[in-house]
Amino acid sequence: MTLITKTPEEGFQLAVKLSRKGVTTTQKDKNVLFMLREVYSRDPDALIACSQVIAINFQTVAAANNYWRDQK
């Protein structure tokens, strides 16, 4: 896998994918994962934390892509 993407939108989608992969790597039991999803999907603090993880991953991807400044 590479952090290099063609566009910021592709970079954001990669950040989301990395974030989701982190959750499934941490919680390997699918039954627990799906049970907890019902809980955190209704918790504003959990959703904000989720957004923060995606934002951090997006910062990493953006830096790896030199913030797409060199892209035409």
CA–CA gap between residue 18 and residue 62 (Å, rounded): 13
Instruction: Provide the token pair at 2.
Output: 């590479």
Angle at 2 between CA 37 and CA 56, to 5 degrees: 50
Tell me if residue 43 falls in helix, strand or coil.
Answer: coil
Q: What is this structure's pTM?
A: 0.86
Instruction: Provide the token pair at 41.
Output: 């999907």
The 10s digit of each residue's pLDDT in 4-61 is: 999 999 999 999 999 999 999 999 999 999 999 999 999 999 999 999 999 999 999 9
